[in-house]
Chain A
Amino acid sequence: MLRYALKRLVSLLGALAVASVVVFAAIEVIPGDPAAYMLGLNAAPETVAALRAELGLDAGPIARYINWVTGMLQGDFGISYTYRTPVSEMVGDRLWISLPLALYALALSTIIAFPVGIWAASKRGTSVDIGIMGFTQLGVAIPNFWFAMILVVIFAINLRWFSAGGFPGWGGGLFPGLKALTLPAIALALPQASILSRVMRSALVDMLDQDFMRTARAKGLTQGQALRRHALRNAMIPVLTILGLQFSFLLAGAIIIENVFFLPGLGRLIFQAIAQRDLIVVESVVMILVFAVILVTFLVDLAYAAVDPRLRVH
């Protein structure tokens, strides 16, 4: 088990390292001098040179890459070209909106999808199954940001149950923060829940045809008992794969949906940064998101091993 975990960890750290090279290289090919850009058109060449030295832009690309990475490892993401404040400060608060939003949506999606998928599978071929599948087919097709806009029209503008946007901060306690994230989380979660419940159902249905399910029935288990005790855990293997992928989609979705609700998260930051060509911010935020995705991939790998004993030995 430990060896499996270490092996996965090494492989994912490798992926993280390669990702950092790719991100760095992508930003590197952009023409233009950030120092000149920061100081504006009328800056004296000496001032630009001084700033270049201050930002460490004089060094060669390899040295700068190493600086960037070692900085990140210590929590130092550099200085924003536009605002001239440390990127880590700009990212700090915003991360605590985007990340909780993605996790909130993931939790919602899982809570909805598991029972729905199991229900549909246990009623395979009946009108319940067909109804659920039709509904999820529709859910899969809905763009989450559009769904978010519809939710705003209904629940914020007409019913006034929620505010149409903005974020009160976590300072006022957990509840107001969660409430502000609820509509966006629902908008994100429903399409994903549709996908996940379809995966859950088809994984379970695949299991129903397996030989070990016949063995379970021959033991005297009812169809329902066999489904819960034997098919479910086996079906978790494909479901976990999708669950891991969903986190990265939800994170990306969170970044988009922040625009609908005027949430001051990473999404707003990164799109502003792109518009202002504040590349160091873009670089850092992308790396943080990649790190989050890779971390979740690792957790999913561990969950695989918990579910499937065959992975633990090798």
Chain B
Amino acid sequence: MSLLDIKGLNLSIHSTQILRDVSLSLEEGKVLGLIGESGSGKSMTALSVMQLLPNGAEMSGQIMFADRDLTAQTESQMCALRGGDIGMIFQEPMTALNPVQTIGDQVAESVRIHKGFGRREALIEARKVLDKVELPAAEFPLNRYPHQLSGGQRQRVGIAVSIACNPKLLIADEPTTALDVTTQAEILALIKRLVLEDRMAAIFVTHDLAVVSDLADSIAIMKSGEIVEAGPTRKVLAEASHPYTAALLEASAHAPERFDVSADTPLLEVRSLTCTYPGRRQHLLHKPDPKIAVNKVSFTLQRGESLGLVGESGCGKSTLARTILGLITPQSGQIALDSGTVPNGQPMPRHMRAKMQVVFQDPFSSFNPRHRVARLITEPFHLLPNPPKGAERENAISDALASVGLAPSDARKYIHEFSGGQRQRIAIARALIARPELILLDEAVSALDVSIRAQILDLLSDLAQKFGLSYLFISHDLHVVRAITDRVLVMKSGKIVESGSTEDVLHNPVHPYTRSLLAATPVLSI
């Protein structure tokens, strides 16, 4: 018998159709992976089960949970189910917990509501649950506050809140998306263990097929509010009978055609570069110890090469990128680009900066919303001694837009008229327009859906060949690095711990950190 049976679910919010005829079922103790790109309606399906939809939502259809139709429950009946028989984990561990309440109280609250325990009893129970999610009492007493914990630890607290009353069904909405790969692997292992131990059924909502491929018994693939394909995981992945599933599979393993254009002449040479930040002041009169963000880093990037830089958040890769771009003056070390060298302790000269550009991760914050595309993409002209004017400028704009697959008429539009993928193309056009030698791609495809990501990777590969560009490709995602780079640097705690050709490093990692990164990276198992 099914624990959860969704039949013909339709949902519209402010009369915009979000879900169309969604039907799903889930057996007791089984895991369902609900997969889709952004806007596919996967999260709204999960929230429909919780009956926690935003204002203006209208729903029709049936959601049967253990013989009760959730769409017909009163609000107080739903309150008894939420956190009781159905628990839910959310994406953003940094904001999902109340910042002014202790973790003990937050976990205990679930127990107090559903089991009617007093505070003291509930806290004893909370302690047990926190132990269960591997937050031991010695390091994580009940009176800790969320801000004293890391993202992964906070997500464990979030899990503890949701499983405190031994739910029959656990809904996890992108629970690992905001986390680093190694933390993601730990959280995935934890969820897997809890589901098995307590024989919980679970719905795992994600955009990443690889994350659920060895966790879910069955998967359902969503697109534009509809389920396009559903069935046992192995069968769906092996057969990929629906074209969208096939396209999704192709895109997530996509490797663009690469052309070897690298020459053996160094373009960028970084020599024992060190950057420090002033640390937190411990005492009013005590000078704070500096924090070392980048520690004696040296590497060479050859002309025409695509070099990967891999590391988890806080490893110093962003500081390194900003130093290379001349935004941060390093404490010591040297940067040489082409034939120019930065004089020691001096800001980077303009003619060197003109040879580099950057594409950032977030296509939504990369552009001034008040400027038109023409003005946005010509900003790097500021670096040129004689920037093009008049017709010459117009041609440069059209060329740049054309080379990223946009129309010249797009120059007159504002940035909000474009989708995420188009914005990333505009960001690349901005990087190209001043004809740089080197483009830094700082997690440039990380925020994109897999299908868009594949297109952007193809574009980058084409452009490298066409303009003889070199890339420094910064990413946390080993799949992407494998697809687009020739050589790779692995960075940890401000140091390069391993470097070599991408194939070698990813197949025969030497450093234990590289190995743990590889082990943690989810692999699509078909």
Q: Which of A209-231 contact B (CB under 8 A)?
A: 210-212, 214-222, 229-230
Given contact pairs A219-B161, A220-B110, A233-B101, A211 touches B82 in the complex (Cβ within 8 A)? no
B83 at interface, CB cutoff 8 A:
yes
Interface with B: A15-23, A43-51, A114-122, A303-311, which one? Answer: A303-311
A221, B79: Cβ atoms under 8 Å?
yes
A234 at interface, CB cutoff 8 A:
yes
Given contact pairs A218-B83, A218-B162, A220-B114, A234 touches B50 in the complex (Cβ within 8 A)? no
B90 at interface, CB cutoff 8 A:
yes
| Nearest B-chain residue to A307, judged by Cβ | B100
B231 at interface, CB cutoff 8 A:
no
B436 at interface, CB cutoff 8 A:
no
| Nearest B-chain residue to A218, judged by Cβ | B88
B204 at interface, CB cutoff 8 A:
no
Return chain B residues, CB-CB under 8 Å to A314: 280
B98, A212: Cβ atoms under 8 Å?
yes
B75 at interface, CB cutoff 8 A:
yes
How many pairs of residues, A versus B, come closer than 8 Å at their CB atoms?
Answer: 78
Contact partner of B147 (CB less than 8 A), chosen from A215, A216, A309, is A309
Return chain B residues, CB-CB under 8 Å to A313: 147-148
Return chain A residues, CB-CB under 8 Å to B81: 220
Bound form: Cα–Cα A191–B106 in Å:
38
Nearest chain A CB to B113's CB is how many angstroms away?
A: 5
Bound form: Cα–Cα A259–B434 in Å:
69
A interface size (C-beta, 8 A): 23
B100, A233: Cβ atoms under 8 Å?
yes
B52, A217: Cβ atoms under 8 Å?
yes
A220, B84: Cβ atoms under 8 Å?
yes
B83, A220: Cβ atoms under 8 Å?
yes
| Nearest A-chain residue to B79, judged by Cβ | A220
Nearest chain B CB to A228's CB is how many angstroms away?
A: 12
B28 at interface, CB cutoff 8 A:
no
B227 at interface, CB cutoff 8 A:
no
Bound form: Cα–Cα A91–B79 in Å:
59
Instruction: Name B's interface SS.
Output: mixed
A310, B75: Cβ atoms under 8 Å?
no
Return chain B residues, CB-CB under 8 Å to A210: 95
B158 at interface, CB cutoff 8 A:
yes
Bound form: Cα–Cα A211–B155 in Å:
13
- Chain B interface: which size bin? 20 to 34
Return chain B residues, CB-CB under 8 Å to A125: 55
B109 at interface, CB cutoff 8 A:
yes
Q: Which of B49-89 contact A (CB under 8 A)?
A: 50, 52, 55, 75-76, 79-84, 87-88
B97 at interface, CB cutoff 8 A:
yes
A215, B90: Cβ atoms under 8 Å?
yes
Given contact pairs A219-B113, A310-B145, A211 touches B99 in the complex (Cβ within 8 A)? no
Return chain A residues, CB-CB under 8 Å to B79: 220-222
B75, A214: Cβ atoms under 8 Å?
no
| Nearest B-chain residue to A231, judged by Cβ | B98
Most chain A C-beta atoms within 10 Å of own C-beta, residue among B97, B99, B148: B99
Bound form: Cα–Cα A132–B50 in Å:
32
A214, B52: Cβ atoms under 8 Å?
yes
B328 at interface, CB cutoff 8 A:
no
Return chain B residues, CB-CB under 8 Å to A214: 52, 90, 96
A222, B76: Cβ atoms under 8 Å?
yes
B80, A230: Cβ atoms under 8 Å?
no
B92 at interface, CB cutoff 8 A:
yes
Return chain A residues, CB-CB under 8 Å to B110: 219-220
Bound form: Cα–Cα A234–B96 in Å:
13
| Nearest B-chain residue to A310, judged by Cβ | B147
Most chain A C-beta atoms within 10 Å of own C-beta, residue among B80, B83, B84: B83
A215, B97: Cβ atoms under 8 Å?
yes
Q: Mark A239-268, 1 if CB is under 8 A from B, else 0.
A: 000000000000000000000000000000
B95, A220: Cβ atoms under 8 Å?
no
Given contact pairs A217-B82, A218-B87, A309-B145, A211 touches B92 in the complex (Cβ within 8 A)? yes
Nearest chain B CB to A106's CB is how many angstroms away?
A: 24
Bound form: Cα–Cα A212–B96 in Å:
4
Nearest chain B CB to A6's CB is how many angstroms away?
A: 10
Bound form: Cα–Cα A216–B100 in Å:
13
Nearest chain B CB to A1's CB is how many angstroms away?
A: 13
Return chain A residues, CB-CB under 8 Å to B95: 210-212
Nearest chain A CB to B373's CB is how many angstroms away?
A: 31
A222, B52: Cβ atoms under 8 Å?
no
| Nearest B-chain residue to A309, judged by Cβ | B145
Return chain A residues, CB-CB under 8 Å to B55: 125
Bound form: Cα–Cα A159–B165 in Å:
61
B101, A220: Cβ atoms under 8 Å?
no
CB-defined A-B contacts under 8 Å, sample of 21: A211-B96, A212-B95, A214-B52, A214-B90, A215-B96, A215-B161, A216-B109, A217-B52, A218-B88, A219-B83, A219-B110, A219-B161, A220-B110, A220-B113, A220-B114, A222-B79, A230-B101, A233-B98, A309-B99, A309-B100, A310-B145
- Chain B residues near A (Cβ < 8 Å): 50, 52, 55, 75-76, 79-84, 87-88, 90, 92, 95-101, 109-110, 113-114, 145, 147-148, 158, 161-162, 280
For the complex with contacts A220-B84, A310-B100, 20 further pairs of A-B residues with Cβ separation under 8 Å are A211-B92, A211-B95, A212-B97, A212-B99, A215-B90, A218-B50, A218-B52, A218-B82, A218-B90, A219-B82, A219-B83, A219-B161, A221-B109, A222-B76, A230-B98, A230-B101, A233-B100, A308-B100, A309-B145, A310-B145
